[in-house]
Amino acid sequence: MASIDTSLIPNPTGAAAALAAQHAAPQPLQLYGGWFCPFVQRAWIVLVEKRIPHQYVEINPYRKEEAFMRLNPRGLVPTLAIEEEEAPSSGEGEKMTTKKKALYESTIICEYLDERYADEAAHGPRLLPAGPFRKGGEGEDSVYERARCRLWINHVATRVVPGFYRLLQHTPDKGYPIEEARAEFLKGLKEFAAEMVASGRSGEDGPWFLGASFSLVDVMLAPWAKRLFLIDHYKPGGVGIPKKGERGEDEEVWARWDRWFEAVVERDSVKATWSDEDKYIEAYKRYAEDTTQSEVGQATRQGRSLP
Ligand SMILES: N[C@@H](CCC(=O)N[C@@H](CS)C(=O)NCC(=O)O)C(=O)O
């Protein structure tokens, strides 16, 4: 257990500290999170976007404490705990009991929150297109749009996020050059931007993946967009997105990326769930040196798919 990543500072700082403090009081809905974790930030963004009453519980997932493992046997944050009052099964005069249900996996938590808190008057617009199939009718076929969103959420999960860690954890002793890791990562980002252009969301009606409306697709990538500076900080050559005027035939696609990126890092919910930048630099040093024992870090090192 010598090198488990327990030396992390124990609490959020900056804006995220203020947000955590506002949500410290007990609530039936609890988010178990770690301030540094991008997967947690996804769930946290959705809670903020939808103004969902909740308690934020900061834990260190590397400690694998028993009570936490009972909620999530995978031992990862984010974990969502949902307390429900249960009526007594028999006999009058018996007390209500509280049952604690759990959910984990950031994408599943985000979809759950979007569906569970669907009342638009209280919680704002849905984050995944929610309407029924409409053949040739007015407006869009939201069943297709919902599936297309899930496709690009899958792209983020299987292309962009693994590519981020492969680049961040690259060290000179790896059996492949950093340029290879960088090219693979940039390919994932460029494909994401190209989809926004190809689907007609060229950015005129709004910067988001769906143009005017912010959606779960934006949420899924936002935490890694925020963390791109870590690659610039730690890796020679940085992220390496080509500069304006040096993008050749990709000018339009990278301009669309810039538009999305600039908007997402400034989104209120993204900023509200963000700690002080220097704390991330400290926390991700183990990734940059490829010494982290986190599950994500180990999977990347061993070329396995991420947990
Ligand atoms: N697939 C999971 C990944 C979550 C994850 O890897 N969380 C990290 C923190 S960023 C964690 O809990 N790590 C604990 C460990 O590696 O032991 C999700 O999407 O929620």
One domain for residues 181 and 99: no
Report yes or no: 152 and 260 within 8 Å, Cβ to Cβ. Answer: no
Could you tell me the two tokens for 18? 């203020």
- Is residue 33 included in any domain, yes or no? yes
In the block, residue with structure tokens 């705990």: 81
Q: Say yes or no: 245 and 105 in one domain.
A: no
Pick the more confident residue, 141 or 162: 162
Cis omega (within 30 of 0) for bond into 78: yes
Closest ligand 1 atom to Cα of 37: 10
Query: Residue 208 domain-assigned?
Result: yes
Q: Which atom of ligand 1 is nearest to the CA of 296?
A: 6
pLDDT confidence band for 1 (50 / 70 / 90): very low
Structural domain contains residue 26 = yes
220 lines ligand 1 (CB under 6 A): no
Q: State the CATH number of the domain containing residue 73.
A: 3.40.30.10
Based on the domain organization, do 117 and 152 belong to the same domain?
A: no
User: Beta-strand (E) ranges in the chain?
Assistant: 29-33, 55-58, 79-86, 97-104
pLDDT of residue 103: 98
Residue 28 lies in domain: 14-86+94-123
Q: Tens digit of pLDDT for each residue in 18-41?
A: 999 999 999 999 999 999 999 999
Say if residue 97's pLDDT is above 90.
no
**How far does the centroid of ligand 1 lie from the alpha carbon of residue 112, in Å?**
18
User: Does residue 34 have its Cβ closer than 6 Å to ligand 1?
Assistant: yes
Sign of CA dihedral 158, 162, 164, 167: negative
- The residue to mutate among 77, 156, 219, having the most atoms of ligand 1 within 8 angstroms of its beta carbon, is 77
Residue closest by Cα to atom 10 of ligand 1: 37
Ligand 1 geometric centre to CA of 120 (Å) = 30
**Nearest by Cα to 46 from 192, 253, 171, 214:** 214
CATH code for the domain of 281? 1.20.1050.10
Does the beta carbon of 76 sit less than 6 angstroms from any atom of ligand 1? yes
Of 4, 76, 273, 291, which is best to mutate to test ligand 1, by the most ligand atoms within 8 angstroms of its C-beta? 76
- Establish if 206 belongs to a structural domain: yes
- Looking at residue 232, what is its pLDDT? 98
Nearest CA to ligand 1 atom 9: 37
Residue 234 near residue 170 (C-beta atoms within 8 A): no
Lowest-pLDDT choice from 3-7, 129-133, 193-197? 3-7
Q: Does residue 106's CB lie within 6 angstroms of at least one atom of ligand 1?
A: yes
DSSP tag of 243: P
Same domain for 210 and 107, yes or no, is no
Domain membership of residue 140 (yes or no) is no
The CA 73 to ligand 1 mean position distance, Å, reads 12
Statement to judge: residues 213 and 295 lie in one domain = yes
Q: CA-CA distances (angstroms) from residue 269 to 87, 162, 214, 219, 266?
A: 37, 24, 11, 10, 9
| 297 CB within 6 A, ligand 1 | no
The residue nearest atom 2 of ligand 1, judged by CA position, is 105
pLDDT at 132: 87
Between the two ends of the chain, the Cα-to-Cα distance in Å is 20
Per the rule left: phi > 0, alpha: psi between -120 and 50, beta: everything else, 18 is alpha
Task: Check residue 2 and give its pLDDT.
Answer: 38
Give the pLDDT score at 134: 84
How many domains would you assign to the chain?
2
| Residues near 70 by beta carbon (within 8 Å), at least 6 away in sequence | none
Are 113 and 157 within one domain? no
Cβ of 72 less than 6 Å from ligand 1: no
Say yes or no: CB of residue 161 within 6 Å of ligand 1: no
Say if residue 79 is in the same domain as residue 224: no
Residues 151 and 296 both lie in one domain: yes
Does 116 share its domain with 68?
Answer: yes
Verify that 213 and 78 share a domain, yes or no: no
Query: Which ligand 1 atom is at minimum distance from the Cα of 107?
Result: 19
Side chain identity at 279, as an amino acid letter? K
Question: pLDDT at position 137, please?
Answer: 62
**Which pLDDT value is given to residue 50?**
98
Pocket test for ligand 1, best of 168, 296, 304 (most atoms within 8 A of CB): 296
Region 244-261 average pLDDT: 97
Residue 250 lies in a domain: yes
Domain match, 158 and 279 both:
yes
Q: Are residues 21 and 78 in the same domain?
A: yes
What pLDDT does residue 93 have? 73
DSSP designation for 208: B
Mean pLDDT of all residues in 179-195: 98
Tens digit of each residue's pLDDT (9 = 90 or more) over 39-92:
999 999 999 999 999 999 999 999 999 999 999 999 999 999 999 888 877 766
Q: Is residue 8 part of a domain?
A: no
Choose the weakest-confidence range: 87-96, 98-107, 228-237, 276-285. 87-96
How many Å is the Cα radius of gyration of the chain?
21
